[in-house]
Chain A
């Protein structure tokens, strides 16, 4: 079954430390992977997508098909990065998006 796993429900780091939020997926086809973020009292919003190979707010994510992973990384975390992060998988040529359970990131001062 197509599934997204985020193994950490909670992640806490200090400001300025590197951060990595893990995401693993199971899907035999050609995946489209996304990271969504939800800041406190705000709606869910797209952070980045693998196909664009972009860096948003200092975050990057590389699709590793061999390890079926799409980990989100930032070299120096900021307090404003504290939020809920969801990894999502869109099946090839399909409109069904599968979300992970999310990781709550807290960046301490």
Chain B
């Protein structure tokens, strides 16, 4: 099991463009969460997907949207990119029927640079 995988590894976009990031969860996991990690900061929760629906959302504008597919993989879309969107985007997967000791497995991240 390769664990959580993300693509691409790095991405450079121009301000105003749109970007799509992809994530495949760990085998057996059905829930995917996305985080933004700015330089020198901890990860910040964007949203979580379960059963192909957005289950929870952090404090991010509507420019950030997502999707989950029947195979549990997920996409993060960001429209109208701003310079401030430059960050490492992390995907984390988990299993919805875990006990209360909630555990997420993180991917290696996608480094997005907006110029």
The 8 Å CB contact of A98, one of B45, B101, B103, is B45
B43 cross-chain contacts in A, Cβ below 8 A: 44, 86, 97, 99
Q: Is A90 an interface residue (CB 8 A)?
A: yes
Q: Is B78 an interface residue (CB 8 A)?
A: no
Q: Given known contacts A9-B40, A44-B106, A96-B58, what 6 new A-B pairs fall within 8 Å (CB)? A: A43-B107, A86-B43, A95-B31, A96-B48, A96-B56, A97-B33
Total count of chain A residues near the partner, CB < 8 A: 22
The 8 Å CB contact of A43, one of B33, B35, B109, is B109
- B71 CB to nearest chain A CB (Å): 21
Q: Are A101 and B42 in contact (CB under 8 A)?
A: yes
Instruction: Mark interface residues in A65-109 (1 if CB within 8 Å of B CB, else 0).
Output: 000000000000000000000101010001111111110000000
Residue numbers of A with Cβ under 8 A of B are 4, 9, 32, 43-46, 49, 51-52, 86, 88, 90, 94-102
Q: Are B42 and A86 in contact (CB under 8 A)?
A: yes
Q: Are B106 and A43 in contact (CB under 8 A)?
A: yes
The 8 Å CB contact of B108, one of A43, A94, A95, is A43
The 8 Å CB contact of B100, one of A43, A51, A95, A102, is A51
Q: Are B55 and A102 in contact (CB under 8 A)?
A: no
Q: A95 with B48: in contact, given A32-B100, A46-B103 (CB under 8 Å)?
A: yes
B3 cross-chain contacts in A, Cβ below 8 A: 43
Q: A101 with B40: in contact, given A43-B108, A95-B55, A96-B45 (CB under 8 Å)?
A: yes
A99 to B102, CA, bound (A): 15
